[in-house]
């Protein structure tokens, strides 16, 4: 029988509430929404939406690795944007992290995110 495994790393943002960075069950991996919090400082990266997106995806990548997966095994992402006007800028960075056969994706605009983040990305992958 498969059991739930907690994926944890110090190389990504630490949870800001009662949740796990990632959960693996069998061959599936579920990664909690990641924002642009620098894991070394615990602070939100300051700069452009591209800077935030890069740090967000670096955090996602670190949790995937801790769970025994990787970006090329991501099946689905959900991108949350504070401002849909950032869609193209986020896409430009996102495409660098998923250059071939990108995962299925949903992108929605939300009114606010923790610590004033402008982008948050969650993922489902396999391992």
In this structure, how many other beta carbons lie within 10 angstroms of the beta carbon of residue 93? 19
Residue with tokens 């660098």: 96
Backbone dihedral region for residue 23 (phi beyond 0: left; psi -120 to 50: alpha; all else: beta): beta
State yes or no: is 88 an active-site residue: no
- Of the candidates 107, 113, 124, 126, the residue annotated as catalytic is 107
Q: Which of 125, 118, 80 is nearest to 98 (CA)?
A: 125
Residue 120 CA neighbour count, 13 Å, CB half = 18
Q: Which of 61, 43, 52 is nearest to 80 (CA)?
A: 52
Kindly tell me the burial class for residue 74, based on how many C-beta atoms sit within 10 Å of its own C-beta (0-12, 13-18, 19 or more).
buried
Active site positions, annotated: 107
């Amino acid at each position: 029988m498969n059991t739930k495994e907690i994926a944890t790393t110090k190389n990504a943002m630490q949870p800001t509430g009662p949740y796990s960075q990632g959960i693996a069950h069998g061959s599936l991996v579920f990664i909690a929404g990641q924002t642009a919090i620098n894991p070394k400082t615990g602070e939100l990266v300051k700069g452009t939406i591209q800077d935030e997106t890069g740090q967000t995806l670096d955090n996602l990548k670190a949790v995937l690795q801790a769970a025994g997966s990787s970006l090329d095994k991501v099946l689905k992402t959900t991108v949350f944007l504070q401002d849909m006007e950032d869609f193209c800028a986020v896409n430009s960075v996102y495409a660098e992290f998923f250059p071939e056969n990108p995962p299925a994706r949903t992108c929605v605009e939300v009114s606010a995110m923790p610590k004033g983040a402008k982008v948050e990305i969650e993922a489902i992958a396999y391992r």
